[in-house]
Structure 1
């Protein structure tokens, strides 16, 4: 059995998309996955399964989440070793920008084509930088970024199905689960 981490998108953002941790665990258990754990109530879940195909795992989870909640919950899955590599890369990227005020990591369902990578990275400017590394996009925002030219939401529109976590959460999950 392999260990996976799943990241749920757009839950617990308002009264209509509530998905408590206990319900997430029940939904994951309902598809036969085991060793389930959650981290804070923002849609971070670890589990083990004999399934190997990421697409099949994501489909099974998305169906279970819809059955449990009645609304779609896009889900991005990484094997634990892949997420550990992603977190190590995030730390390396962060170390090159010690002056960044914020570091958000967008987790992608699918890798971006080269032309979209160029568009995302072109949103960089003096107030921050967008860096694409595989299925992760790093938003490194400089102090005062709110008044600057980098707009992570503008770049996020190019990412397809994605969700973000700050670097602190990425590191905590890698330390705890990988």
Structure 2
């Protein structure tokens, strides 16, 4: 059995696309996924399956969610091993950050092109820092994510890929839950 984390984009944000986690859990269980667990209200689902093709799995989840909810919900999937790698590759020393600075990870649905990454890197500034590594963008937010240029929408637009963002604490919790 493979363990995955599905991170749903745009769920329960600013009163939009509201879904209770018990309903979300039941939708995932209806797909015959195993050991389904949700974490916080932002659309994180940990589950087990024998399916190993993440594209097939993502397409199936997105299709089922659209049928059940009546609207599109983009989904980004990572395995528990991939989440462990995301944590290992974090370029920012979280324990040494001054108070008020936080790390966020934007998970990309696919690898951005080299040209898109080069263009994105041209937005470097003195307020926030970031690194694009593989299918993740690590963001060091110095003045609050709500004030950061590197919002999820900005990252998606500039890198031209679907994305969803989680704070560092959530990334670590999802990794812990996926190791069960």
Q: Normalising by structure 2, what TM-score?
A: 0.87
The structural deviation recorded for 1:15 is: 4.1
Query: Hey, what's the Cα distance between the residues in 2 that align with 1:48 and 1:155?
Result: 29
Shift of 1:106: 0.3
Match of 2:150 in 1: 152
Q: Which residue of 2 aligns with 1:50?
A: 50
Q: What CA distance in whole angstroms lies between the structure 2 residues aligned with 1:144 and 1:52?
A: 37
Which has the larger displacement, 166-175 or 93-102?
Answer: 93-102
Return the alpha-carbon distance in structure 2 between the equivalents of residues 146 and 177 of structure 1.
Answer: 28
- 2:171 match: 170
Q: Distance in 2 between matches of 1:144 and 1:14?
A: 17
User: SS at the partner of 1:73?
Assistant: coil
Between the aligned partners of 2:121 and 2:102, the Cα distance in structure 1 is 17
Alpha-carbon contact 1:123-1:130 (below 8 Å) kept = no
- Measure the CA separation in 2 of the matches of 1:13 and 1:144: 17
Residue 94 (structure 1) aligned with residue 92 (structure 2): yes
Do the aligned residues in 1 keep the contact of 2:54 with 2:77 (CA within 8 Å)?
yes
Instruction: Structure 2: give runs of 5+ residues left out of the alignment.
Output: none
Distance (Å, rounded) in 2 between the aligned partners of 1:15 and 1:145: 18
Q: Deviations over 1:29-75 (max 9, x none)?
A: 11111110010111111111111111100011001111211111000
Kindly state the Cα deviation for residue 155 of structure 1 after the two structures are TM-superposed.
3.5
Aligned length: 174
The residue that corresponds to 1:161 in the other structure is 162
Note if 1:18 corresponds to 2:29: no
Equivalent positions of 1:120-139 (< 5 A) are 120-139=120-139
In the aligned structure 2, how far is the partner of 1:30 from the partner of 1:18?
A: 19
- TM-score of the superposed pair, with normalisation by structure 1: 0.88
Change (3 A) 1:128 1:79: same
- Secondary structure (helix, strand or coil) at the match of 1:71 reads coil
SS class of match (2:158): coil
CA distance in 2, matches of 1:2, 1:84: 14
